[in-house]
Structure 1
């Protein structure tokens, strides 16, 4: 039977008049059910997209996370614009909105500030400012720099931009924090012990300089923003360790700020930030392909890590245990007006004293007792436990470097297919790795013997085994036996099907028996 191909969309041939038993089709078929594939590469793309769409059953949270991630800059700028317009157009709100732009509680002494609950307005607005600044830097400054440096893969550009942003942030804040700490150090300090004791002096310090207040509140906002960021971005291997670290850090900063211990908090932040200068730089060198320079910087990072987070940091923790209530800052009841020690009994209360300027700004007294000391020690040791876990990961990387495998980020997530895309777009067909032979240059169309039975609709009960088999190369799932002729002629058979048909023709020992209905 001759099958003709007309100029329009492919259609299925009607049943032959010679066949008497022709039941109606099982279901109505549309032209969309037949995938007309111009090339195997396009078929692979369609199949991959279908697979992704079937697996991507996004929850409401994941959809909101995706929207927030893709529109960080726009959402942040809209919030800032709304805040500015509210401040200008509604004078009754200015008492509240002004706290989102400026420092609150200035004192009569020039350059000195008090503390209170309005400070949290500035922290909240700074979280949005950091989100906007980070999104702008990543999308419009650092990602283009990554492309200019020749980083082709999108994941590499994103990682480069993230680490470059962290390097910029930590460079600014480490230098700023170090300057503030040196400026606040008494002139009589001449040894390590006297330096440690000086961190607890003048408790309770009733006012704080402008610089240290702005530094502390913006650092607190940054760490809260980091909690938001790790929930928006793809989870890393150490997601929960990082989340715990950020929560403990925020608790320590809030507690030290509320308890007027910003000098020791400043010292801990300087120790931590010094490490975060070397690590982003090492990763940037790795993304640029400078593996030797990366390994050298990684060595600097390891030395800095041990010195800052396991020596200097633990010295501060030891000072709480050895110096507090022994050589300085004794337990007792203190006045929040004069700073004098009123009683030797500090009581047992914890939270009311810990957050006194924020929760009880009008309180006339503040206490220091063993419960508060134990709480700070516990949080600091919890932070040290997390850094020890990370140090184990660092040791693994050191072993890799010693073996000559190069420094790698053990906490990065794996490479996905979507992250392999280059500048030209996702799912780029790979170049052939073998030369094109004469066999490959031949047309993909082959001669297939077709009977009238193969172009009729199969019955529900009497369909043959061939008619029940699903086509592996057609996304609609049509039976290959039913439409082999027309699909062969319009070029819709996949390479796998064509190879299988060639095998049948070359390997068959005897000619295929023809149906009685063949013409």
Structure 2
């Protein structure tokens, strides 16, 4: 057990030549990320799940109830109790409000965290120069605002992983979403451990922008606002292409593939699989997995666009969601 533990945390596995774990000890001028900090991300995930349930019951449900989007055959309190029963597995898995509530929560979080991320990263060098993610590594100070931002974002993916598996409405891309959440958690955790936090923040803020529009478009679609859905879908596709298919591969992945070795370890060769360290190769694999998933979802978006041109915007996202036909035709 001790030998496997020592191998797992060996400098050869994690760190470039000439670098030891002593270089990651915080001092008066630089606060370094610590692996033990990641335990707070799990706690953050649990808290976010609780916040989500509260928002669904006490914010989204009353809005739908009093806004006229739901029948009032049952009282609001009864609706709340029924929704909680559905979350813990004692209700219908195809209830339309569950899908709307899930989408509303993700829209709320992505919008909030993107604004927060923009504020905390505005004065950070990597936002304006991606190569600053590696320049002067590992001596990158982690301000408190970045610490909280990263931990909360990681916690959100823990919450998504659990909710997708346990009580979210099962969609046709269930396994792709599970893979995405697991890869993202590993990517964020590993980058945190070796202080590749700067490049991690760029991945987070660029991805969140498209997610905001995706969830907003789904909300408009659920409300059957055809014109708004079409407008958001067009903006989404432009944003998605710019962030997921251009910025992510040609800036983020490119910088890590070609620029990071210049600043971190000039002798590093990706093709030399036995050369230390190993973790950057794992990070690169996970980045490529995310890119493949982006291409898969881009195909779905193109498929949706083609279908909507033939049969209308009401079909948007229908292929990727397991919807009850009756619920898609009437109010919940």
Correspondence 1:325 to 2:261: yes
Are the equivalent residues in 1 in contact too, given 2:34–2:192 (CA < 8 A)?
Answer: no
| 1:62 alignment counterpart | none
| 2:32 alignment counterpart | 114
User: Matches of residues 29-428 of structure 1 in structure 2 within 5 Å?
Assistant: 108-109=28-29, 113-152=31-70, 155-185=95-125, 195-205=129-139, 207-233=141-167, 234-315=169-250, 316-326=252-262, 328-331=263-266, 369=276, 371-406=278-313, 407-409=315-317, 410-415=319-324
Name the SS for the 2:195 alignment partner. coil
| 2:9 alignment counterpart | none
Are the equivalent residues in 2 in contact too, given 1:151–1:157 (CA < 8 A)?
Answer: no
Gaps of 5+ in 2: 1-24, 72-93
Q: Using a 3 Å threshold, how does the CA distance of structure 1 residues 285 and 422 change in structure 2: closer, same or farther?
A: closer
Are the equivalent residues in 2 in contact too, given 1:199–1:264 (CA < 8 A)?
Answer: yes
Q: Using a 3 Å threshold, how does the CA distance of structure 1 residues 370 and 126 change in structure 2: closer, same or farther?
A: closer
Are the equivalent residues in 1 in contact too, given 2:157–2:181 (CA < 8 A)?
Answer: yes
Q: Using a 3 Å threshold, how does the CA distance of structure 1 residues 145 and 330 change in structure 2: closer, same or farther?
A: same
| 1:488 alignment counterpart | none
Cα deviation digits, residues 348-376 of structure 1 (max 9, x gap): 999xxxxxxxxxxxxxxxxx946333222
Q: Using a 3 Å threshold, how does the CA distance of structure 1 residues 279 and 121 change in structure 2: closer, same or farther?
A: same
Superposed displacement of residue 148, structure 1: 2.8
More helix by share: 2
Superposed displacement of residue 155, structure 1: 2.9
TM-score scaled by length of structure 2: 0.76
Superposed displacement of residue 280, structure 1: 0.9
| 2:4 alignment counterpart | none
User: Matches of residues 420-439 of structure 1 in structure 2 within 5 Å?
Assistant: none
Cα deviation digits, residues 465-499 of structure 1 (max 9, x gap): xxxxxxxxxxxxxxxxxxxxxxxxxxxxxxxxxxx
Q: Using a 3 Å threshold, how does the CA distance of structure 1 residues 209 and 232 change in structure 2: closer, same or farther?
A: same
Superposed displacement of residue 422, structure 1: 6.4
Q: Using a 3 Å threshold, how does the CA distance of structure 1 residues 251 and 121 change in structure 2: closer, same or farther?
A: closer
Name the SS for the 2:322 alignment partner. coil
| Number of matched pairs | 280
Moved over 4 A (4+): 416-423
TM-score scaled by length of structure 1: 0.50
Q: Using a 3 Å threshold, how does the CA distance of structure 1 residues 223 and 157 change in structure 2: closer, same or farther?
A: same
Are the equivalent residues in 2 in contact too, given 1:331–1:370 (CA < 8 A)?
Answer: no
Structure ID, larger Rg: 1
Distance 1:172 1:152 in 2: 26
Name the SS for the 1:226 alignment partner. helix
Distance 1:414 1:404 in 2: 17
Distance 1:207 1:256 in 2: 14
Q: Using a 3 Å threshold, how does the CA distance of structure 1 residues 237 and 313 change in structure 2: closer, same or farther?
A: same
